[in-house]
Amino acid sequence: MKILIVDDQELVLLSLEKALTDLGYDVARAENVITAIEVFDFFEPDLIIADMNMPTAPEGEVIYEPITFAEKAPGLDLIFYLRNTRRDSTPIMVLSGNLDEEIIERGFELGANDYMKKPLSINEIGIRVRKLIGGTSPAKKIECKNQFIQTTCVGIVIPCYNEESRLLSEEFKSFVHTNLGYHLCFVNDGSKDNTLGVLQELRKGNEEHISIYNCERNGGKAEAVRLGMLHLAKQAQFDYIGFLDADLSTNFDDFTDLVTTISHSNYKIVSGSRIARMGANIAKDGARKIISKGINLYIRKTLGMEFRDTQCGAKIMTKDVVMQTFQKKFITRWLFDVEIFMRMKKLYGNREAQAMLCEKPLNRWVHVDGSKLSFKDSFKILGQIGQIALHYK
Q: Are residues 54 and 168 in the same domain?
A: no
Do residues 106 and 173 both lie within one domain? no
- What band does 203 get if pLDDT is binned at 50, 70 and 90? very high
- Give the pLDDT of residue 297: 74
Last residue of a domain, one of 133, 158, 192: 133
The answer to whether residues 157 and 273 belong to one domain is yes
Q: Which helix (H) or strand (E) holds 88?
A: none
Provide the number of structural domains found in the chain: 2
Q: Output the pLDDT for position 363.
A: 86
pLDDT tens digits for range 345-388? 999 998 999 999 999 999 876 655 554 555 566 667 778 888 88
Asked if pLDDT for residue 63 goes beyond 80, the answer is no
Mean pLDDT of the 285-303 span: 68
Strands (E), the chain: 2-6, 26-30, 47-50, 92-96, 114-117, 120-121, 148-149, 154-160, 182-189, 210-215, 240-243, 269-273, 315-318, 357-361
The pLDDT confidence band at residue 253, using thresholds 50, 70 and 90, is very high
Give the pLDDT confidence score for residue 279 in this predicted structure. Answer: 46
Global pTM value? 0.88
Of 133, 165, 199, the residue that ends a domain is 133
* 138 domain-assigned: no
Q: Is residue 116 part of a domain?
A: yes
Say yes or no: 165 and 302 in one domain: yes
| Neighbouring C-beta atoms of residue 109, cutoff 10 Å | 12
Same domain? For 219 and 366 the reply is: yes
Amino acid at residue number 157: V
- CATH number of the domain bearing residue 267: 3.90.550.10
Min mean pLDDT across 17-31, 136-150, 353-367 is at: 136-150
User: Do 81 and 175 have their domain in common?
Assistant: no
Residues 38 and 155 in one domain: no
Domain co-membership, 125 together with 27: yes
Domain that holds residue 75: 2-133
Determine the average pLDDT of the residues in 171-178: 94
Q: Determine which of 38-47, 98-107, 133-142, 265-274 has the lowest per-residue pLDDT on average.
A: 133-142
